[in-house]
Structure 1
């Protein structure tokens, strides 16, 4: 287990928390009260900044209960790099059939901390052979 430090940028901010012992994502909460109209996109403040250790990233993901209502995180998963120290803000989109009301303190997204693998980039003229090759979308068939 690693320790992740959060900083409250707003006194009403609530530190993220896991809802169950088996949860992968920590819930992030809004510090704003607002309405999200049908087909509307808004940037929602959490009032938090985070210090993620090098070699890790934070991924912002939708909450399944909100997604079922058509409310989702637009750039899923959103990435928080280990060198970012600004406020965590959530890009929420409402693709549902009715307005969605967000109250201060509501859980609006999840934060998952995951390891990052850095790679060496090299150019090649040829790739190793595979049966699939360059066949794209749908090429593996439907079973």
Structure 2
């Protein structure tokens, strides 16, 4: 019986996740990345101290961690209690988190985010119509 092309295993050849790779100015010692995971635990859109433990537990030397979706403005939030970077208080709250990852040799990227019209209703109640519908056809 012939195998279907879509079900035939692809042979990748020699591939090792433990070899380093360079992307731009960054050298990653391993090729496994912590993808962004929205946690909705940043009350009033400010990262909390428990995030220091969360991210530092996952940090490895030369490994990449991508922060959860981080709003760029109060109109960018898609869900309640997601972190932001549009106020000084938020930026200051991120610093010990980033420092903890760097202390373990990890690389930390911020996933900047604007949810647009995908926002949940409760997240946009404070917006005026011109903020929520900026373009009228």
TM-score by length of 2: 0.23
- The normalised TM-score by structure 1 is 0.22
Higher relative contact order (CA 8 A, sep 6+): 1
